[in-house]
Amino acid sequence: MSADSVAPPARLLAPEEVAEAQTLLKRLIEGLESVILGQRNLVELVVLCLLARGHLLLEGLPGLGKTELVKTLARLLGLEFRRVQFTPDLLPADILGSPILEDHGNGRRLVFHPGPIFTNLLLADEINRATPKTQSALLEAMQERRVTVLGETHILPLPFFVLATQNPIELEGTYPLPEAQLDRFTFKVDVPGVSVETLQAIVTTRQHGRPPEVRVALSAADLQRLFALTDAVLLPTAVSNFIARLVASTHPEDPHAPEEARKFIRYGASPRAAIALAETARAAALLAGKPSVGFADVRRVAGSVLPHRLLLDYSARLDGWSPARLVGRLVDVLPETAHKLSGEPR
């Protein structure tokens, strides 16, 4: 069966549907901005990742509001929320849960006791302070929304999101996340410092650092409606081809990869990255009030989807090339439309 025969029917969202999404998203973004001051781009990226039903990794120095951002998002959505503080002595069972021997009328048997991962929104705080063994406990949950303990599979509640924070790995007591773990994060977003004006607003209005109380902004039905509207955003063939070529160009062996990619990238992005680009670009289009994805929407999200999925050669740093800079270069040089869609060299 061809791919065309199973593709969903193309239908542009009606103007009133786009307007409905805009109203709901405005309510959510305003709620986040009431707590997280001066970080509009960060707030929008969090919302885009949410609409794509992806997982988010926030990186930044301590004290920049990463944890407060996740807690506020949970309150605004009215979702069940659990927080796990990752430490070097944390074990996989502390997250997933474990079977415990219990007495019953006809004897004793093992009964599974769910861990904190059985929630809608899991905050994995300072995830890179735990050992790789504990970090990897999240792999199955993030990909398949289920966990397996002693051969028994347990389904997680839906929706399920992992929002993790980490400190830069240059800080003491941190363990870099393995590549397989990083690949399951839809976005990796660097949390920047704030301006003087924002700092002044914080010390003026936030006595003892207490943020304002927020109320639920979206009901469960509202959130499901936003998911449905995001899925209905049209992805044109030309844009999906651009996404495919962009991900392919992160591989040094690709014939269309620019010189910098062939020289500095050891391993490129996976097909999971292409899926993440497509879904978050749909979200970006909806946030911008458009019923279909454009090339600009892909560029909007590429810097959060691709850099953490690239493994660079050691010489890249010596020459001043970071993953983010390489992605920026790829996006700049890649033509929006292929000269030949057959895959032959241009």
Select from 2.60.40.10, 3.40.47.10, 3.40.50.300, 3.40.50.1980 the CATH code of 13-232.
Answer: 3.40.50.300
pTM, full prediction: 0.86
Q: Which two tokens stand for residue 328?
A: 């920026």
Report CA-CA distances (Å) from 66 to 124, 157, 166, 218, 264.
11, 24, 9, 21, 31
Which of the residue ranges 77-86, 200-209, 213-222, 267-276 would you say has the lowest mean pLDDT?
A: 200-209
Mean pLDDT of 150-179: 83
Count other C-beta atoms under 10 Å from residue 223's C-beta: 20
Pairing of strands 121-125, 161-166: parallel
- pLDDT at residue 199 greater than cutoff 70: yes
Q: Report DSSP letters for 122-179, one per residue.
A: EEEETGGGS-HHHHGGGHHHHHHSEEEETTEEEEPPSS-EEEEEE--TTSTT--PPPH
- pLDDT at residue 49 greater than cutoff 80: yes
pLDDT at 342: 43
pLDDT at 119: 92
Cα–Cα nearest to 65, from 90, 34, 88 = 34
317 pLDDT band, cuts 50/70/90, is: confident
Phi (first) and psi of residue 86, to 5 degrees: -80, 125
Question: pLDDT tens digits, residue range 74-111?
Answer: 899 988 889 999 988 999 899 998 888 777 777 787 78
pLDDT at 172: 66
What CATH number is given for 233-336 in this structure?
Answer: 1.10.8.80
Q: Which residues of 174-188 are buried (b: 16+ CB within 10 A; e: fewer)?
A: bbebeeebbbbbbbb
Domain boundaries, the chain: 13-232, 233-336
Cα–Cα nearest to 237, from 276, 273, 278 = 278
